[in-house]
């Protein structure tokens, strides 16, 4: 019975600049105005893999999800794609995935990385090797802008852990078994706990993760998320979130039945 409100308005332009205390990459985050109008902030996240940031958890859900259209571009704006012509098969899956004609006109590219997830032949990479790390840091700072100064609580569901972001229409079968519901007042501790329990889980057979682990030239990163998508990286996000005071990576699991 709760109403659905578009945080940054129907056209994505209704936002407000929010200072980031301790921010190193973002001075003022562009957050949907309706999000900042709330007295209390509660997040509900589907925890899953992600083709760029390793996994999509609470920090990504808040930082990227609450950023306005301009805020999302602000976080994604570092990396630009480059195509290995020898590896490219000309299938054009990347073109169908891009919403901005960014692979035709690079100035339109917002660096979202969806083209990388769409390519089955590892033909696309970022020109800037630090792009993912900078994106991770910006997401942490956007999250801090959202939760600072008001009560906040966070819930994360580790079910149907898909290899890619939920926005991918071609998403594959879950890579890990369903684990359950996690909750915390600390978004960083929550993400760390969810990641740790996923890393200790057994990969599901015939999933993207299991298939990659059976490849002849498989390089084991000893990390389910990096093994699923070797170009992804999430540790920078957690480290930077702790550095800027978003929360702590220490936690205690309390089981409820």
Position 126 scores a pLDDT of 72
What is the C-alpha separation between 224 and 201, in angstroms, rounded? 9
Position 172 scores a pLDDT of 83
- Count of alpha carbons within 13 angstroms of residue 240, beta-carbon side: 24
What is the C-alpha separation between 49 and 171, in angstroms, rounded? 10
Position 129 scores a pLDDT of 58
Query: What predicted TM-score, i.e. pTM, was given to this entire model?
Result: 0.83
Position 127 scores a pLDDT of 67
Instruction: Tell me the per-residue pLDDT of 150-209, one tens digit each, with 9 for 90 and over.
Output: 999 999 999 999 999 988 777 789 999 999 999 999 999 999 999 999 999 999 999 999
Position 191 scores a pLDDT of 98
Position 115 scores a pLDDT of 80
Residues of the chain with pLDDT under 70: 79, 111, 113, 127-130
């Amino acid at each position: 019975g709760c109403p659905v409100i578009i945080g940054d308005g129907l056209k994505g332009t209704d936002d407000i600049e929010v200072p980031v205390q301790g921010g190193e990459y973002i001075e003022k985050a562009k957050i949907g105005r309706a999000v900042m109008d709330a007295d209390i902030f509660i997040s509900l996240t589907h925890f899953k893999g992600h083709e760029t940031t390793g996994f999509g958890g609470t920090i990504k859900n808040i930082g990227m999800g609450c950023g306005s259209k301009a805020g999302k571009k602000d976080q994604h704006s570092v990396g630009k794609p480059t195509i290995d012509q020898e590896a490219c098969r000309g299938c054009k899956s990347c073109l169908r995935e891009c919403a901005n004609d960014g692979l035709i006109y690079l100035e339109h590219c917002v660096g979202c990385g969806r083209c990388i997830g769409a390519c089955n032949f590892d033909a696309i990479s970022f020109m800037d090797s630090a792009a993912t790390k900078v994106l991770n840091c910006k997401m942490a700072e956007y999250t801090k802008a959202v939760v600072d100064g008001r009560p906040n609580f966070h819930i994360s569901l580790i079910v149907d852990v898909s290899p890619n972001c939920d926005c991918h229409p071609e998403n594959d079968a879950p890579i890990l078994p369903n684990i359950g519901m996690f909750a915390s007042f600390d978004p960083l501790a929550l993400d760390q706990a969810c990641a740790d329990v996923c890393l200790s889980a057994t990969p599901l057979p015939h999933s993207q993760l299991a298939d990659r682990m059976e490849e002849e030239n498989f390089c084991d990163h000893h990390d389910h998320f990096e093994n699923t998508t070797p170009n992804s990286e999430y540790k920078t996000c957690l480290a930077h979130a702790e550095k800027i005071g978003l929360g702590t990576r220490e936690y205690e699991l309390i089981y409820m039945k």
